[in-house]
Amino acid sequence: MRRNRTNIEPFYLVFSFLGGLVLLFLVAPLVGMVLDSSEQELVRAGTDSEVQRSIWLTLWTSMAGTLVLAIAAVPFAYLLARKEFPLKTLVVAIVNLPIVIPHSAAGIALLGFISRGSFIGAAGEKVGIEFVGGAAGIMAAMAFVSVPFLITAARDGFAMVPERLEKAAMTLGASPARVFFTVSLPLAWRAVLSGLILMWARGLSEFGAVAIVAYHPIVTPVLIYERFGAFGLKYARPVAVIFVAICLVFFVAFRWVAGGIGAPTSVSTQRARAGDIHAAR
């Protein structure tokens, strides 16, 4: 006799209960923060010019840092997915190192690398780029701690692309660069875009490294900490609520775009592209 599928096993009930506890742990603090903020406090914080400037600065520096570093990170992820080379395990570990080290320590390390006395810092000053205490330093700090998310997601996406499609395009005369841009990248686009979103979102929330490299101009996570230290929870909480809401809106929008644009491309479509490559010869 078939078991009634509408019956739920106690085993899964226990797992559901545990999952509910995790969700409660994640949602309850955020909901409580919103409920504890009055409308007047939110309006006051939202119309504060310092809050507006910090939110805008945080949004665009994180986005700019993500896009600039993606120029090198995405090809690097493809290399990690496709090639075997000596010490590859060590290279992958180095890529993930910013995730595990304290971000204040990351800020100290980065500060020594881009300070005015370093080669990078001095070179930047000659072309008008100010790292320490400037937007470029904020971008560097955000990118340093968040780029592992992009590389890992893109590498996994490229690894799922069937190599036979790339080899088929190459046998038809396509160069490795053309194969990358017309076959590999379109197939892995969903993973790459997801990695970009994760990197951008992680950069938005960075505090430790940014506070050390460029405390001013002030980004929103630093502003929240500063107001909490100077005025207490009442003045920091409305800024946190507004910033979380804005980040959530952007994150959901980007994920929605990733789901639409980055839809998986069929194998038949890729074969058609290979045919196009052959016809273009």
Residue type, 257: V
Whether residue 28 lies inside any domain: the answer is no
Which pLDDT value is given to residue 256? Answer: 84
The predicted-structure confidence for 92-151, as pLDDT tens digits, reads as follows 999 999 999 999 999 999 999 998 888 899 999 889 898 998 999 999 999 999 999 999
205 vs 243: CA distance, rounded Å: 10
Whether residue 265 lies inside any domain: the answer is yes
- Mean pLDDT of all residues in 175-187: 93
And the tokens for 137? Answer: 């330093």
The predicted-structure confidence for 217-243, as pLDDT tens digits, reads as follows 999 999 999 999 999 999 999 999 999
Whether residue 81 lies inside any domain: the answer is yes
Which pLDDT value is given to residue 5? Answer: 55
Whether residue 1 lies inside any domain: the answer is no
Residue type, 254: F
Cis status of the peptide bond prior to 217, with omega within 30 of 0 = yes
104 vs 233: CA distance, rounded Å: 23
Q: What is the largest CA-CA distance in the chain?
A: 80
CB 155 within 8 A of CB 95: no
Residue 274 pLDDT > 70: no
How many domains does the chain contain in total?
A: 1
pTM, whole model, 2 decimals?
0.85
Whether residue 10 lies inside any domain: the answer is no
CA 246 from centre of chain:
16
Whether residue 61 lies inside any domain: the answer is yes
Whether residue 240 lies inside any domain: the answer is yes
Whole domain around residue 227: which residue ranges? 40-280
CATH code of the domain covering residue 238: 1.10.3720.10
Whether residue 6 lies inside any domain: the answer is no
